[in-house]
Amino acid sequence: MENAKPPFSEWIQDHVFSATELENYLACPYRFWAQHYLAIKPQNQWTIEISPMERGILLHRVLEKVLQVSSASLENLQSKAFSFLEHELSSLKTQYPTLSPFLLSRQNESLKRTLKNFLTLFLEEKEKRQSLLPKYFEWSFGHQTPALEIKNLHGEKILFKGRIDRIDIDPVQKTFLIIDYKTSGGTTGSQILAGHSFQLPLYILAVKKLLLPDYEPIGALYYNLASLEQKDGLLHTDRLPDFIDLHPSSSTLVPPAMWDRFFEETEVKIAEIISQIRQGDFPSEKEPCQDYCPYQEICQLRSSL
């Protein structure tokens, strides 16, 4: 028989948080409750084609495997990427027999185009990168590995987990750059600095504290796989590598005088939010919620808005 779930007040005390959970709580506490405490999985949306989320997962898997191959030509990398992709797609076909062969073949072509464009740019960039190169792929913390620890004002520990798509390091300059792949837009620097998104700041803290304590962060960037843009995120102005081309007024660029203060304030802000969650502070939304939410069909709040 399955073990009964502990009461929320017990469950939350030992809970290891993720950035997504924090952001879900800020967006809608009920969604946090349903998704992370009750662990209700939204109804499977699989019908006849691969969902945008699964498309992103597929690309992550392929890139994780292919970028570990060093010094290969574009043709070589591309052929490895396409063969990993075929392998992943055939597993999906077995798992989801309702997928339309016609739509799947079109999605396959589109995924191949995305991969080809990514790999072409990756190799062009490699020429300009000097010693800053990809080193870690899908590095995780807090998943049977040490978690990132933050303390609140009372000295109580808050633990975090996460998985980072890619970490590039420069062993000469002793710096690191975090890359997070997206299939749509990421959060802008001004949204991160305003405290609306915690993913990249938590990743930077985790790598600095747990993986590369002797290295300094260049920062973290969202890499949009569809547009190949690398413009959103958080980068230390004085450590910016030449191949990253950003307008000087971009909100992604954080001046040195703000950098340390931002991380100190972020830790305090995160601790405040966790303390609200631990106290069971679950205010219902005052404003109409977002248009799409996977929990809308079971949501009592939405029906009362």
Nearer to ligand SF4, 228 or 305 (CB): 305
Nearer to ligand SF4, 31 or 80 (CB): 31
Show the beta-strand stretches assigned E in 129-252: 133-141, 148-151, 157-160, 162-170, 175-182, 216-224, 232-236
CA distances in angstroms from 212 to 10, 215, 217, 236, listed in the order given: 33, 5, 9, 17
C-alpha distances out from residue 133 to 147, 149, 208, 231, 274, Å: 25, 28, 17, 18, 35
Q: Minimum distance between the CB of residue 298 and ligand SF4, rounded to whole angstroms?
A: 8
The least CB distance from residue 211 to ligand SF4, in Å, is 34
Nearest residue to 225 via CA among 78, 112, 100:
112
Rounded distance, CA 38 to CA 300, Å? 15
Q: How far is the CB of 186 from ligand SF4 (least distance, A)?
A: 21
Nearer to ligand SF4, 33 or 259 (CB): 33
Instruction: Kindly list the residues in this chain that would bind ligand SF4 in the complex (CB under 6 A).
Output: 28, 30-31, 285, 289-290, 293, 295-296, 299, 301-302
Q: Is 3 exposed, middle or buried (0-12, 13-18, 19+ CB in 10 A)?
A: exposed
- Cβ atoms within 10 Å, residue 45: 10
CB of 302 to ligand SF4, least distance (A): 4
Between residues 28 and 77, which has the closer beta carbon with respect to ligand SF4?
28
For 64, residues 6+ apart whose C-beta sits below 8 A from its C-beta are 137, 138, 165
Task: Kindly tell me which of 41 and 247 has the beta carbon lying closer to ligand SF4.
Answer: 41
Smallest distance, ligand SF4 to C-beta of residue 182, A: 21
Nearer to ligand SF4, 114 or 187 (CB): 187
Residue 40 C-beta: closest distance to ligand SF4, Å:
10
